[in-house]
Amino acid sequence: MTFNDLTKAISRSDFANDFLWGVSTSAYQIEGAADIGGRVPSIWDTFSATPGKVRDGSTGAVACDHYHRWEEDLDLAQAMGLNSYRFSIAWTRIFNGVDEQPNPEGLAFYSRLVDGMLARGLQPWCTLYHWDLPQYLQDQGGWENRATIDAYLRYVDVTTTHLGGRVKHWITHNEPWCTAMHGNWDGMHAPGNKSLPLALQVCHNVLVSHGLAVPVIRANVADAKVGIALSLHPIKPASDSAADQEAVVRHDALRNRWFLDALYGRGYPELALRLVGEDAPMVLPGDMEAIGVPCDFLGVNYYFPEVVTNAPDQYPLRTAIVHPQDRQRTDFGWEVSPQGLVDLMARVAREYPTGDLYVTENGSSYDDHVGADGAVDDTARRDYLIRHLVAVRDAIAAGAHIKGYFAWSLLDNFEWSEGYLRRFGLTYVDYPTQRRTVKQSGHWYSALVRGQNQQ
């Protein structure tokens, strides 16, 4: 399809007037200023400083220096015509593990940031935990230790009290799968453990912390809207064989339903519990009721479908992820599948009483370059964005109550164990100079949001 055909396929008027058009960011990936303002180390400072953990050997110590450049960054979002902005709070700026009282400098930073959003017409969407656990808590067992749940609740209490008059939309956790599994099963993320039972216990404790945080937020924030952001994948079979179809069901049970079933009060899926056997987490009385607390919305982070095959020797799911050659992929190797987003959102809406749905992340990584004319022509990302927004519209038509879309991400940033090798931004960041250049994709998004993409 040509660009003309693509851009004609969609317009702002296809969406409700109050649809949220946003971008997503997270603290560790953009803020930098690691030693400034009373911030203490997080598990990602420790992990990224450990040789061999991050592909380019980088850390988030400076990142996009957003801590100092946040006004310029919010200006970018405003100039794009957006009406919402998703950010996360660095817990390590709020509690240092020594003082009982929260750090006033940390609270003041987020207060200024939120005021900056409101002044620019950006509705603040705050994520409370986007993977940057304070290292002092990891030293006491991290999320495996239930004392971390108490520490989290205190942090949630303080931040929501402080910002709750101005921030109404709260996300308790971003992608608990990644916190638990990449952090503790495959070891790709901080703290870098490699144990399935540990990962499942972490996962459970994180979900309990979500459930217990919801009433705390509601008590502190009048008219609060509270939810969680899950990384979900449509699971597709590698072939039509019955064995691969069954592999899909097993894979889905842990990858998606483990979270969805528990959050919607159905407990962990029987199938997944049977597969993990003795590695299942310890569940205390009341935990599942806590996790199943009703929320106001579900955030879905969608990037690509997972294609799986039957693999009898793979514990615990007896599945393996495969990467068929015949698919369109980003430079990161992730399959480009807008239809996957339609299928996923329609499935979630059909099978769970989610109420409002938001695409809280969606985006693509390509190896961008600034051209001789100073422009960043990221045509592939622009086309990805267009096709996924068409998918959002189609999913709404199919019955999913999607009320907003947050592109990942406003800026290129620190992509975890890939360091700065992967660029996801609608805005290019030249790290040595910290110069920002809005890419072609960002200009197109802005034109759509302003109702001008068809001119």
**306 vs 415 by CB, closer to ligand IFM:** 415
Residues 187 and 193: their CA atoms lie apart, in Å, by 5
Closest contact distance (angstroms) between CB of 155 and ligand IFM is: 19
CB nearer to ligand IFM: give 110 or 131: 131
Residue type at 15?
F
Which among 144, 175, 306, 415 is annotated as catalytic?
175
Of the residues 7, 26, 172, 184, which one makes contact with ligand IFM according to CB under 6 A: 26
Residue numbers 339-368 binding ligand IFM by CB under 6 A = 361
- 415 near ligand IFM (CB under 6 A): yes
Closer residue to ligand IFM, CB minimum distance, 29 or 309: 29
> What whole-number distance in Å separates Cα of residue 272 and Cα of residue 17?
41
Asked if 296 and 356 count as a contact pair (C-beta separation under 8 A), the reply is yes
Contact pattern for ligand IFM over residues 212 through 231, marking x by CB under 6 A: --------------------
CB 26 to ligand IFM: min, Å: 5
Q: In the range 87-116, which residues lie near ligand IFM by CB under 6 A? A: none
Angle at 345 between CA 449 and CA 422, to 5 degrees: 65
Q: Residues binding ligand IFM: what is the number (CB under 6 A)?
A: 8
Q: Pick between residue 93 and residue 218 the one whose CB is nearest to ligand IFM.
A: 93
Q: How far is the C-alpha of 265 from the C-alpha of 244, rounded, in Å?
A: 29
Question: What span, in angstroms and rounded, lies between the C-alpha atoms of 112 and 139?
Answer: 31
Among 31, 144, 306, 361, the one annotated catalytic: 361
- Per-residue binding letters, 424-443, with ligand IFM (x by CB under 6 A): x-------------------
Tokens of 278: 């003795």
Is residue 31 part of the annotated active site? The answer reads no
The CA-atom distances, in angstroms, between 429 and each of 80, 197, 356, 424, 438 are 16, 39, 33, 10, 9
Q: Applying CB under 6 A, does 384 fall inside the site for ligand IFM? A: no
Among 405, 408, 420, 444, binds ligand IFM (CB under 6 A): 408
Residue 418 annotated in active site: no
Question: Residue 122 Cβ, how far from ligand IFM at the closest point, in Å?
Answer: 19
Which of 301, 337, 362, 364 is in the footprint of ligand IFM by CB under 6 A?
301
Rounded CA Rg of the chain: 21
Our finding on whether 259 is near ligand IFM (CB under 6 A) is no
If one asks whether residue 45 binds ligand IFM (CB under 6 A), the answer comes out as no
The pairing of strands 84-88 and 123-127 is: parallel
- Measured from the CB atom, is 133 or 275 closer to ligand IFM? 133
| Angle (CA) 106 109 115, round 5° | 140
Helix (H) or strand (E) holding 252: helix 242-252
Our finding on whether 378 is near ligand IFM (CB under 6 A) is: no
Other CB atoms within a 10 A radius of the CB of residue 285 amount to 6
b/e sequence 236-271, b meaning 16+ C-beta within 10 Å: bbbeeeeebeebbbbbbbbbbbbbbbbbbeeebbeb
Q: What is the C-alpha to C-alpha distance for residues 228 and 291, in angstroms, rounded to an integer?
A: 11
Does 412 interact with ligand IFM (rule: CB under 6 A)?
Answer: no
Binding ligand IFM (rule: CB under 6 A), the pick from 73, 175, 261, 383 is 175
Residue 194 φ then ψ, to 5°:
-135, 75
Element (H, E) at 204: helix 196-220
Q: Which is nearer to ligand IFM, 24 or 84 (CB)?
A: 24
Comparison of 179 and 453: residue with beta carbon closer to ligand IFM: 179
Closest distance to ligand IFM from the beta carbon of 127 (Å)? 10
Tell me if 298 sits within 8 A of 402, measured CB to CB.
Answer: no
Give one DSSP letter per residue of 40-53, joined into a string: --BHHHHHHTSTTS
The DSSP output letter for 13 is: G
Q: Which residues bind ligand IFM (CB under 6 A)?
A: 26, 29, 175, 301, 361, 408, 415, 424
- Catalytic machinery residues: 175, 361
